[in-house]
Amino acid sequence: AQSVSQHNHHVILSEAASLELGCNYSYGGTVNLFWYVQYPGQHLQLLLKYFSGDPLVKGIKGFEAEFIKSKFSFNLRKPSVQWSDTAEYFCAVRGTRQDKIIFGKGTRLHILP
């Protein structure tokens, strides 16, 4: 069965700090990988996704993620965070043989102004 593990539950950073949120998945096959973000009071929206090709994926608002197949990882990065990045971030995986998307438990990111 597929599963997703996000390493950090809560992360607090100052503005301009660099960010890396860890995500590991478990699935015995080819996967599609996603990062979703939920800003306070808003619905989830897609940040970026990987399904094939270049393992370094660029998303909206300066975010990027790197798929490392040998490590079953898809970590999210941003070189310099802003106060407006305060949100909850969810890593998700969908096996190409299955239809459902499985989400991690989420990481609450709090950026100090």
Structure tokens at 4: 């997703």
Please report how close the Cβ of residue 84 comes to other proteins at its closest, in angstroms.
Answer: 20
Q: Does 45 bind other proteins (CB under 8 A)?
A: yes
| Cα dihedral 56, 32, 63, 104 in deg (nearest 10) | -130
Quote the DSSP letter at residue 111. E
Please report how close the Cβ of residue 1 comes to other proteins at its closest, in angstroms.
Answer: 9
- CA 47 to chain CA centroid, Å, is 8
Q: Does 103 bind other proteins (CB under 8 A)?
A: yes
Binding site for other proteins (CB under 8 A): 6, 9, 32, 34, 36, 42-46, 49, 51-52, 90, 94-96, 98-106
